[in-house]
Amino acid sequence: MNATSRTRLNQTPEWAALGKHREQLGSSHLRQLFADDPERGTGYTLRVGDLHLDYSKHLVTDETLTLLRELAAATDVFGLRDAMFRGDKINTTEDRAVLHTALRAPREAVIEVDGENVVPAVHAVLDKMAAFSDRVRSGEWTGHTGKPIKNIVNIGIGGSDLGPAMAYEVLRSFTDRSLTFRFVSNVDGADLHEAVRDLDPAETLFIIASKTFTTIETITNATSARDWLLTGLRAGQEAVAKHFVALSTNAGKVADFGIDTDNMFEFWDWVGGRYSYDSAIGLSLMIAIGPDRFREMLDGFHLVDEHFRTAPAEENAPLLLGLLGVWYGAFFDAQSHAVLPYSHYLSKFTAYLQQLDMESNGKSVDRDGNPVDWQTGPVVWGTPGTNGQHAYYQLIHQGTKVIPADFIGFAQPVEDLLPGLVAQHDLLMANFFAQTQALAFGKTPDEVRAEGVPEELVAHKTFRGNHPTTTILADRLTPSVLGQLIALYEHKVFVQGAVWNIDSFDQWGVELGKVLAKKIEPVLTEGQGGEQLDSSTAALVSTYRELRGR
Ligand SMILES: O=P(O)(O)OC[C@H]1O[C@](O)(CO)[C@@H](O)[C@@H]1O
């Protein structure tokens, strides 16, 4: 279906049917839905690879799910999915294919862009990454002075930082603990300062990760890192080759920076930045966990790609999760979506998903440039669950907002946990299960009274419940499971963009601030051009200059 021929989403009969159904559902409570269907807790579940997914605690009935699937059919979600997997240029505003799925396709797969099979090039880069990783891990790759590399510093931002930084944390128990990994993204010099201050330049490798190799934050940090290295080594430009490698699509700019393009690991314009950590952008992760584990992670991604590509609508997990988000945004006015992992290792997982989801679906015009008059992407937020319980869960339980939430947990603690700490895992997971139970079923005023609570406190101690959650449970946090989880979210975001008829693969919204920052910088440093600023910004800039003694 052509985007232009599409009926506007909120004018489709399927949308109207969902609106009517929402009215009928009224304030139906999960307590009732569970009472009506004793099988609900086992029936509303899906299995994808190693992921057990429970969606029974959602404000949906069989009819809701049918109507949502009809909306997906009317908006041709699967048609767009097939176009993506085929390599069609579905990122229309940038005229690009969207083929992160090719990054984890098996060697023998054939996926064409402009008539050329891209899979051999993907595997050639993976092989080059593997050879390089092995050389660093084994100590064979030495720095300018002949010392083996002990420290790896990834410099990148957005998709060139969040993915590897997140995955490194997630898979820490699989990493080579004799190596130190740091991730620098912020143009605030403090970031690089803290990353390198205790490192020996002779043992340090910088990985400069930038799809475009023009991003000001990354190039500025990379330039400062080069100065730090050459000063520390008391060496000239010739030392760069042993201490800098690049991950990029832009060989020209990499060479301009002074990095030997033999030490460049390539990817392609059909890989979006926020979909790129399974490309060359994952080099730091591959060095950390080794090529075999990295490949296991890619296999995990691929498993969910295949599920999304082939599973029927009724069993298709990304479709289901995407549609649930559409449901809450449109018909419950939910503004945000919480992702609450019950694993310390997933501490950066939600930050990663923020870019994936919000840069993809934070749009307000449709594919044809018409304003949308339906909600698009939610605010994604969250931190590891137990910490959140003692901070913001109060608002989820008793506040006024509808906040659908994903709870992610694992049956086993990581393998190398100190034996004395293993017992804590059951307590962690007891919290995990208790929270979704409390959110769904709450506590009625009568239940509170039955505990002998004085009448004036009953309202305060009542829990409305009826807060929707998805539970994702896996046996163990492995590289494959991480790949499965990320692919699940990637495709969920895809489904929502398809229904909302927006381009989930561009990011024009980041441009204006970049342009303005370029104009403001000389005003800060030289004091020239301030008259072109609005009065608020001009006054702030002038105060800043005063404080800097300029
Ligand atoms: O990898 P690059 O080209 O340095 O871009 C970094 C990030 O900047 C953005 O373009 C946003 O400014 C992201 O989409 C991207 O992940």
* C-beta 356 within 6 A of ligand 1: no
Identify whether 461 is a catalytic site residue.
no
Ligand 1 atom 16 nearest Cα: 159
> Which residue is catalytic, options 203, 217, 266, 359?
359
* C-beta 160 within 6 A of ligand 1: yes
pLDDT tens series, the chain, 550 aa: 444 568 999 999 999 999 999 999 999 999 999 999 999 999 999 999 999 999 999 999 999 999 999 999 999 999 999 999 999 999 999 999 999 999 999 999 999 999 999 999 999 999 999 999 999 999 999 999 999 999 999 999 999 999 999 999 999 999 999 999 999 999 999 999 999 999 999 999 999 999 999 999 999 999 999 999 999 999 999 999 999 999 999 999 999 999 999 999 999 999 999 999 999 999 999 999 999 999 999 999 999 999 999 999 999 999 999 999 999 999 999 999 999 999 999 999 999 999 999 999 999 999 999 999 999 999 999 999 899 999 999 999 999 999 999 999 999 999 889 999 999 999 999 999 999 999 999 999 999 999 999 999 999 999 999 999 999 999 999 999 999 999 999 999 999 999 999 999 999 999 999 999 999 999 999 998 889 999 999 999 999 999 999 9
- 262 CA to centre of ligand 1 in angstroms: 23
Nearest to 105 by CA among 96, 118, 116, 94: 118
Q: What is the pLDDT of residue 416?
A: 86
Give the residue ranges of DSSP H helices in 87-144. Answer: 119-138
* C-beta 158 within 6 A of ligand 1: yes
Report in angstroms the alpha-carbon separations of 166 from 62, 65, 87, 409, 432.
36, 33, 28, 16, 21
CA 96, chain centre distance (Å): 21
ipTM given for this complex = 0.98
Report in angstroms the alpha-carbon separations of 34 from 53, 245, 462.
17, 56, 20
- Residue 110's contacts (CB-CB under 8 Å, 6 or more residues apart) are 117, 119
Q: The whole model's pTM is what?
A: 0.97
Which letter does DSSP use for residue 39 in this model? T
One-letter amino acid identity for 316?
Answer: N
Q: What is the pLDDT of residue 5?
A: 67
CB atoms within 10 A of CB 35: 10
- Between CA 204 and CA 140 the distance in angstroms is 14
* C-beta 470 within 6 A of ligand 1: no
* C-beta 249 within 6 A of ligand 1: no
- 99 CA to centre of ligand 1 in angstroms: 17
- Between CA 65 and CA 13 the distance in angstroms is 16
Identify whether 194 is a catalytic site residue.
no
- 531: left (phi > 0), else alpha (psi -120 to 50), else beta? alpha
- Residue 332's contacts (CB-CB under 8 Å, 6 or more residues apart) are 22, 59, 402
282 neighbors 245 (Cβ within 8 angstroms): no
